[in-house]
Amino acid sequence: MTADLFEDTPPERMAQPMVPGAVLLQGFARDLQAALLTSFEEVIAQAPLRHLVTPGGYTMSVAMTNCGPLGWVSDRRGYRYQATDPLSNQPWPKMPGAWRELAARAAAAAGYAGFKPDACLVNSYQPGAKLSLHQDRDEIDMSAPIVSVSLGLPATFLFGTERRADKPQRFRLLSGDVVVWGGASRLAYHGIAQLPAGDHALTGARRINLTFRKAGDAA
């Protein structure tokens, strides 16, 4: 079944509070989907998607890459940000200006003015892929929010608290939705439930996620 571009999207775009500090901006990037996906293809042509290995030796089901001054990587040595792609030893692709602008606008709409991301994690989910509950805590600058843009197949976003044991809430994310969290929710555990099979008009049988972060220091 083909997922319509506007499947289940309210007629008016809405800002849905999730927990203190976290907001779901429904349809915020809807009008930019085609342009965002064009830039996505340009980024992965320079730094191909790959399945990273965790420090524990597990291969992630989500394929990923990065763009911007810093990129997040994982291997048996640990999780970290670095300025070069370990596959090429070259700098990560430049972050598209339109991506940086979108992230800043979304952050401001959620109450976080002045967001200037220096890293964008680019994730590709095929049906069956998932992202286990985790905290984003490898960044030096914890005062900045996280901005997450969804494209393609719908997904279930799991969003909890700073305690892994607490049951997370479940939020349905559609193509063009943006989630922003920071402040009191900056270290909340979050993840993506196993992606169901589907076919999206723009991305086919996959979901693309762009996650913007301020990974370096606040200066």
C-alpha 138/C-alpha 71 separation (Å) is 11
C-alpha 97/C-alpha 175 separation (Å) is 20
Sketch out the chain's domains with CATH numbers: 2-8+15-213 (2.60.120.590)
pLDDT at residue 14, rounded to an integer? 84
What's the pLDDT tens digit per position in 46-86?
999 999 999 999 999 999 999 999 999 999 999 999 999 99
**Helix, strand, coil percent content, the chain, rounded in steps of 5:** 15, 35, 50
What's the mean per-residue pLDDT of the chain? Answer: 93
What's the pLDDT tens digit per position in 133-178?
999 999 998 999 999 999 999 999 999 999 999 999 999 999 999 9
pLDDT at residue 19, rounded to an integer? 96
pLDDT at residue 141, rounded to an integer? 86
What's the pLDDT tens digit per position in 87-105?
999 999 999 999 999 999 9
Helix and strand numbers, DSSP H then E, in the chain: 2, 15
